[in-house]
Amino acid sequence: MEVLENLLAAIAVLIVLATAAAPPFFLMVAVASAPGTVAAFFEKWQRMMADDERLQLWSVMRQLGLAREDAGREPRALAVATRRCVMCRSIDKCNRWLATGDGDGLGAFCPNAMYLKNLRRSTGRR
């Protein structure tokens, strides 16, 4: 039974993270499926949906001289990059990188390094 509950929770989280906004139904499914995972799920959802600098992707883009509008030209690639950032396990490394501004060190830990490099190239900001 526990395996089934964990599977349902994982499916609910994936469905919500795949949508632009979390409809209340999916939030209820996540809460009902696995109450222990709700806090972690909600934190990730908040980071993804925040219109401020909670999602490191926006801060990294700004530091690299990129605007959100630059990324908006390819919405699918931006969605993938957003999900990568939300699920990233290197948040502490990213915050240190943002604090130091070391332009070359991003590729060592960031799952979006190639996306950002290609985005800079496509906008003419090398």
Q: What angle do CA 109, 40, 112 make, to 5 degrees?
A: 25
**Distance (Å, whole) CA 114 – CA 110:** 9
**Distance (Å, whole) CA 50 – CA 36:** 23
**Distance (Å, whole) CA 84 – CA 98:** 17
pTM: 0.60
Checking if the pLDDT of 107 tops 60, the result is: yes
Residue 23 pLDDT class (50, 70, 90 cuts): very low
Domain boundaries, the chain: 2-49, 56-123
